[in-house]
Every structure is written in structure tokens, then in C-alpha cells.
Amino acid sequence: MTDAISSFGAVGRPVSIHTDDAAKARLKGRYRAETWFKWLGAAAVALAGLFLLLLLSTIVTQAIPALRQNYLTLPIDLSAAKVDPAKLDAVNYDAIAQEALTAKFPDVTSRQDKRLLRGLISTGTGVFLRKDIAADPGMLGKTVDYAVPLDDFADLYLKGLLADVGSDEAISTSVTPSQTSGDIDLTFGDAAMLALARGHGATEGENGMLTLTSGASSLLVAFNSGTVKLTALSPGANGTAVAKGTVIEALDSTAPAASGQAFLRVIDTPEASRKISDKVIVWLDTLKSAGLIESRFNSIFFFTGASREPELAGVWGAVVGSFLTMIVTLAIAFPIGVSAAIYLEEFAPKNRLTTIIEVNINNLAAVPSIVFGLLGLAVFLNFFGLPRSAPVVGGMVLALMTLPIIIIASRASLRAVPPSIREAALGIGASKVQTVFHHVLPLAMPGIMTGTILGMAHALGETAPLLMIGMVAFIVDIPGGFTDPATILPVQIFMWADFPEAGFQQKTSAAILILLVFLVIMNAIAVILRRRFERRW
């Protein structure tokens, strides 16, 4: 009896190999494996999404600063003494703008500092000024407030990309300077400044002496309408602290500043590891607090050609080059691709030759793009002697590359048109050509267009073959025709990514953003076409 009971489970069924404990454990293990597998799959998808997110967020966060540019408004003296209205082209406009800037800082006297100061504004200032005067001669003969673009380092600093700068904090003790300019001593009312300097990487010396080298954060003290940079600190008598400092902006008196009257600014990034000196930072902050600096939409970037100077470099030349190249590509690849697809799908007899063509097209689609560049170099440039760097050659190379994509997409689209359409047309007496061109092709057109747009989007992002045919040349002018030397957007991105100047990194990202926007628009058009016009039979 007991044996009988033990051989029945709780629900009264006999225990077997499929229901005993080992089986339950096995089942549990199998379900666990199932869950694991499922999560592994989900993780793979999530990882792919994460990569995309990482890529796009990196690009976008870097690109945003490049969309704006800082301008400095200066009173430019365009009186007849400076600018001879009869000889507008002979005037050194850069010098006039630089004079206006140096006039803002009468304390700056040394040659080196003056050069540093002049470097604050872009080297393209003169060009802009001349162009604006030519457009509006009314500016001449007086002093006008004119906004000039800042140099890339100044611009990047103001965007907060070159140095970590803390906000001004009031010093809660008195500060007494020994002189108003040069290397001076400062006496602080308490020793709090010593602890602060230690916290910012000051080097310990003998007798509690602290030295602030260029490897430490910069401590700037602003009071009496001037700024002093601290170089060394030591404990003084009666719990005070004595600091040595260099005056960057002259103080107006040696009167002690009361508690709360002096302000401390800490630049966390050590001077040695940033590309902008303390002096320039102080000048820029002065100009900024005077309300002379203004951040504007970066029209230079969008509407000018390339340049070696980051603040003057623009994408317009590359955009125009891309546009011209795409026109050539489309004009060649679309008619040829669609014609080839029509022939292969509708007319071609099934024989050896057409099989070869088909295999050929599939193989062409898998040939590395750089090989097409080699073809263009050997055939178009060296054999036919076409011009280097020209959109017409680039367009031809890209057309050969896009051709297989368009042919494959068009064939798929033609195949999707049901035979009944053809039979109906043939039945009422249309010729084969009329059937195809009047009935099949219009029905297949949305699919063909979608494939073409996707192929063009692919061609727009292609870089490698165009490097081979010399579109990597440095071209400043906006190309005006199909045979002018030009560069294209992806190649411009490639070139800018190689430039060492910090400003180009943002420009590169912004150019990528523009390229991606074009691609998104093209893909969106393709999706809309597919949604609206494609018929399922």
C-alpha cells in the first residue's frame, strides 16, 4: 500500500522519467537556457542601438558649438585719414581692426603681448571688412561699430571648450597690493588662500612657501579694476598670507580692497595643458563683461568655402561640389540603370549572355568602392585625360558604383508588377515596347525611384573612390561648373578630421551633421514614396 502511494505524485499521476525531480530540474534548466538565450538576443539588439546612440550623441554634442560663432564689436575708424575712398583695395583693413582692438587695452605695451592681443580677432577680418565696405560705402568717413569674428582659440574659450573656468567668488578678507603694475606682492588678511592654493596643485617649497607653476590651476585675483595672477604664496605675520603675483590688467590704486571687494577666479585647467594663456583669458573676460562679445549664428560656416583657419572654414564649397557630383551621378546612373533593368527583366532572352550579365551585376555590387576609384584614376583620368578633382569625373565613378544598386532595385520593382498587367496590354494589341513603357514601367516607377534615392544616398556618403581621383585637393573657391576643381562633403569631413587645430574637430562634427541631415532627408523621401505609391498586388 505504501509502495503504491509513493509511486503516485501529488495529483495522483504515476511518477515517471518525465515527471520525477530530475526531470523537473532538467526542465528548469531548459527554461533557464531559454531565458538566457532570449536575453542574449535582446542584448545584441540593445547593443546595436547603444552603438548608434553613442555615435550620434558624440557627433551632435561636438557639432552644436560649431553652429555659433563669437563676434567682437569694435569701433573701427574708417575716416578718410585711414581709408582713402579712391583706393579701397590698397587699404590694410586688418591693421585698422587690430588698432581698434589694441586701443581697448592701453596697458598692453610689450611687442609679444601686442601680437597675442592682435591674434584675438580672426585673420579674415580684413576680407570681411572690405566686402562690407564695398557693399555699403556709407560706412566710410566715420567710426563705425563693426562686429569682427574672433580667432578660433578665443572662440573656443568663450564656448567653454578650452579651459574649465570657475565663477568669480568674493574673497572674504582684505587684499593689499604693493604696486599697481608689474610683479607685485599681495597681502591677504587671513591664511585661507594658502589652503586654497594647496587644493589647486601648488608645489610645496621651504618655509611653507607654495609655488603656482604652469602645471597648477591658475588663481586670478580681480580688484581695484585690475587683475593679478598669483605665482607664489607664503604665510605672513599674524596669520596673514603674502602672495607674489603678476599684474595682467593694471590696478587703479594700491589701496587695500576690503573684504568682499576682491574676487578670486580659478581656472582649473593648468596653463601648461591648455592652448590659451591666462592673459588672453583675462582680456576676453574683460571684453565679454564690457558687452562687446556676442554669439551669433555661424553663417561663415554654412556659406563659405574651405579655409586653413578654423573660424573661416565653411562647408558651402563642399556642399555645392557634392550637389554637382550627385547631378552627374543621377544623370548617368538613373537612365542607364533603369534601361538595363528593363532589358534584363522584360526583353532579355534566357541565354548564356544574360546570365553572365546578371552574375556580373551582382558581383559589381560587392566590389570594394576603392576599386572603382582605381578604375576612375586609370581610365577616366589617365586614359581619357579628363580633369582631376572635377565633379564630372567623381559623378561618373559614383555612377558606375551606384549602377548595380539601381539595376537590382529596378528589377525587383519590375518583377513585382503582376503578369496580368502585361497580358492585358498585349491582349488589346499593344506592342511589347508599348506594354513595358506605357503600363509596366509607370507601375514600377515608385519602387524604382525608392531604389534610386537609396542608391544616391549611398553615393552621397561615399569617400574612398573620390580620394583616388583627386577630389581631396584643398579648394577654397566655390565650384561653378562640372569641370571646376571641387571637393565633396564626405571628403571635406575626411580632410578636416586630419587637421590638428582644435576648432576643426567641432567643424568636422558639424559637417557630419549636415551630411547626415541630407541623408535623412533622402531616406525620408524614399520611405514616403514607398508608403504612398507602392502597391501590393
Partner 1 sequence: MVGYLVVLLLVLAAAAYWIGRTRAIASVNGDVARLHSLPGQHGMFLALFAAGPALLAIVLWSMVTPGIESSIIADRFSAELSGMGVPQVEAFIRDAHAMAFGGLVGFADPTKEAAAAVYKSIHATSAWIIWAIALMLSASGFYWAYSRIAQAYRARHVVERVLRAFLITCSAVAILTTIGIVLSLIFESLRFFQQVPLYKFLFGTHWSPQSAFTGAGAEAGAVNQDIFGMVPLFAGTLLITFIAMLVAAPIGLMAAIYLSDYASKSVRAVAKPVLEILAGIPTVVYGFFAALTVAPYFRSMGESLGLNVASESALAAGVVMGIMIIPFVSSLSDDVINAVPQSLRDGSAGLGATKSETIRKVILPAALPGIVSAMLLAVSRAIGETMIVVMAAGLAANLTANPLEAVTTVTVQIVTLLVGDQEFDSAKTLAAFALGLVLFCITLTLNIVALRVVQKYREQYD
474 binds partner 1 (CB under 8 A): no
Handedness of CA 162, 496, 152, 319 (dihedral sign): negative
Q: Nearer to partner 1 by C-beta: 314 or 485?
A: 485
> Which region, judged by CB under 8 A, interacts with partner 1, from 54-62, 130-138, 175-183, 229-237?
54-62
Going by C-alpha positions, the residue among 369, 329, 326, 365 that lies closest to residue 521 is: 326
| Number of residues this chain uses to bind partner 1 (CB under 8 A) | 88
Among 8, 37, 297, 533, indicate the residue that binds partner 1 (CB under 8 A).
37
* Closest approach of partner 1 to the CB of residue 299, in Å: 24
> Which region, judged by CB under 8 A, interacts with partner 1, from 31-39, 85-93, 133-141, 180-188?
31-39
* Closest approach of partner 1 to the CB of residue 444, in Å: 15
* Closest approach of partner 1 to the CB of residue 143, in Å: 42
Residue numbers 339-368 binding partner 1 by CB under 8 A? 339-340, 342-344, 347-348, 356-357, 360-364, 366-368
45 binds partner 1 (CB under 8 A): yes
Handedness of CA 179, 184, 188, 189 (dihedral sign): negative
Q: Nearer to partner 1 by C-beta: 384 or 537?
A: 384
* Closest approach of partner 1 to the CB of residue 333, in Å: 10
Residue numbers 516-535 binding partner 1 by CB under 8 A? 516, 519, 523
Cα separation, 257 vs 166, in Å, equals 21
52 binds partner 1 (CB under 8 A): yes
Among 15, 336, 416, 476, indicate the residue that binds partner 1 (CB under 8 A).
336
Cα separation, 247 vs 229, in Å, equals 6
Reduced to 3 states (helix: H, G, I; strand: E, B; else coil), residue 219 is strand
Instruction: Please check whether residue 130 is in contact with residue 93, taking contact to mean a CB–CB distance below 8 angstroms.
Output: yes
Query: DSSP H helical segments within 231-309, as ranges?
Result: 278-289, 299-303
Cα separation, 327 vs 392, in Å, equals 9
- Please report, for the chain, how many H helices and E strands are present, in that order: 19, 12
Q: Nearer to partner 1 by C-beta: 209 or 412?
A: 412
Going by C-alpha positions, the residue among 115, 401, 164, 391 that lies closest to residue 280 is: 115
Cα separation, 103 vs 446, in Å, equals 65
Q: Nearer to partner 1 by C-beta: 118 or 507?
A: 507
323 binds partner 1 (CB under 8 A): no
400 binds partner 1 (CB under 8 A): yes
Residue numbers 256-295 binding partner 1 by CB under 8 A? none
Residue numbers 429-458 binding partner 1 by CB under 8 A? 431-433, 457-458
Handedness of CA 195, 197, 202, 204 (dihedral sign): negative
Question: 278-289 and 111-118 are packed helices; what angle lies between their axes, rounded to 10 degrees?
Answer: 50
Query: DSSP H helical segments within 124-191, as ranges?
Result: 125-135, 152-158
Going by C-alpha positions, the residue among 407, 401, 525 that lies closest to residue 463 is: 401
Q: Nearer to partner 1 by C-beta: 248 or 468?
A: 468
Among 292, 464, 502, 525, indicate the residue that binds partner 1 (CB under 8 A).
464
Instruction: Please check whether residue 312 is in contact with residue 304, taking contact to mean a CB–CB distance below 8 angstroms.
Output: yes
> Which region, judged by CB under 8 A, interacts with partner 1, from 73-81, 158-166, 400-408, 421-429?
400-408
| Position 323, amino acid | F
327 binds partner 1 (CB under 8 A): no
Residue numbers 371-390 binding partner 1 by CB under 8 A? 371-375, 377-379, 382-385, 387
Instruction: Please check whether residue 165 is in contact with residue 268, taking contact to mean a CB–CB distance below 8 angstroms.
Output: yes
19 binds partner 1 (CB under 8 A): no
Reduced to 3 states (helix: H, G, I; strand: E, B; else coil), residue 133 is helix
Q: Nearer to partner 1 by C-beta: 188 or 301?
A: 301
